[in-house]
Amino acid sequence: MSTRVSFGKPTIDFSATLRKRVDEYFASDGKRVTDSFKMYFKTFILFLIGAGVYWVMVFTNVPAWVSVPLCVIFGLDLAAIGFNVMHDGAHGSYSKKAWINEIMAYSLNLMGGSSYMWKQKHNVAHHSYTNVEGLDDDIDIKPWIRTNESQPKYWYHRYQHFYWAFLYGFTYLLWVYNNDFKKYFTGKMGNTPLKKMSVKEHFIFWISKIVYLFLFVAIPIIKLGILKTLIGYIITSFVCGWVLSVIFQLAHVVDDVTFPLLDEKTNTLEHEWTLHQLATTANFGTRSKILSWFAGGLNFQIEHHLFPKISHVHYPGISKVVKDVCKQFDIPYIEYPTLMEALRSHIAYLKLVGV
């Protein structure tokens, strides 16, 4: 399928008004769009926790009742680094300096992924064509999970509202050991060709995978043995994968969002890009400062999709602006008050689309 997709033409000046109001928000007291001290401090804390837990687990002789909770903490910390440091860096919203953004984006490579692949999968495909089957690779969990009516239905999907809780935990391992390599060797992301990799990017891809295996598999085996390493690695990966999956799914695979259909004759989508984002994205648990801190503001997913180049530390502030402009133009703003309400909606939606 060609990715030369057009969005509907604006019929109201919603987008222009929203952009103007957000610009005024930053101009009012000289706020910086990127390079926040809060972001730099958070980065320091997250990497300090990760390095400290890794050192204790691998290089000290701690009993199982200590090492298991540490594996859980390590998995949560890896997810938080992904939500905060990598995500802002890869979007260019961490700093106004491109080289700093690139370094932060490479934190994904340290965790076994590929920032090169991720930018095309997420920044280009997902953010451009959110929830459009065949174009948004982030909603493609086929064949195990059916996320919308346009995907094939199999008999086991009627149980997906039960087994999702187990399956999501393996998405991190699938990502690191299967999805990246599939894209690398086929040169495609679904049916869409990937941007050609430079010699530098080929080198970084392979070195990153080797370094990851050395740090997360080889060294622990040398220090702890195969069995302990295997158990710890599975626990850490499961926790990280589960959390990453749930935070994403609650923003796009819930009852109230839409999965727009592409007009294959004209290769167009019905709404203009801004309205498309609002119809396909949901916020959740935005009153929880703990959730917002941990998830890198991705519970403010609407603001992130509308303004991906703005550091997530500003999402709580600009969400008030977005809500106000949506109310002015009578545009739906999808939000679940708590994480648990969004999770219930996600499970209910999986049941609905699976039967």
DSSP states along 138-164: GG--TTT---STTS---GGGGGHHHHH
pLDDT tens, per residue, the chain with 355 residues: 445 788 988 878 999 999 999 999 999 888 899 999 999 999 999 999 999 999 999 999 899 999 999 999 999 999 999 999 999 999 999 999 999 999 999 999 999 999 999 999 999 889 999 999 989 988 888 889 999 999 999 999 999 999 999 999 999 999 999 999 999 999 988 777 888 999 999 999 999 999 999 999 999 999 999 999 999 999 999 999 999 999 999 999 999 999 999 888 888 998 999 999 999 999 999 999 999 999 999 999 999 999 999 999 999 999 999 999 999 999 999 999 999 999 999 999 999 999 9
The predicted pLDDT at position 142 comes to 84
How many of the other CB atoms lie within 10 Å of CB of 70? 18
The domain locations on the chain are 14-354
Say which residues have a Cβ less than 8 Å from residue 78's Cβ, sequence separation at least 6.
Answer: 50, 111, 236, 240
> pLDDT value at position 3?
53
Q: Does the predicted TM-score (pTM) go above 0.75?
A: yes
* pLDDT of the residue at 267: 87
**Residue 256, both tokens:** 């109230």
The structure tokens listed for 45 are: 């804390």
What's the pLDDT score for residue 112? 95
3-state secondary structure of 189: strand
φ, ψ of residue 192 to 5 degrees: the values are -100, 125
Cα–Cα distance list, 164 to 107, 131, 158, 160, 353 (Å): 27, 19, 11, 6, 13
Of 52, 68, 88, residue with least CA distance to 239: 68
**Tens digits of residue pLDDT in 73-119:** 999 999 999 999 999 999 999 999 999 999 999 999 999 999 999 99
User: What residues have CB less than 8 Å from 152, skipping those under 6 apart?
Assistant: 142, 143, 146
Q: Which residues contact residue 73 at a Cβ distance below 8 angstroms, ignoring those fewer than 6 apart?
A: 49, 53
Which pLDDT belongs to residue 171?
94
Between vectors from CA 139 to CA 137 and to CA 145, what angle results, nearest 5°?
Answer: 125
- Estimate to the nearest angstrom the gap between the alpha carbon of 86 and the chain centroid: 10
The DSSP string of 160-181 is HHHHHHHHGGGHHHHIIIIIHH
Specify the pLDDT at position 250. 97
Residue 266's pLDDT is what? 87
SS3 of 263, please? Answer: strand
pLDDT at 2: 47
Specify the residue for token string 């939606």: 349
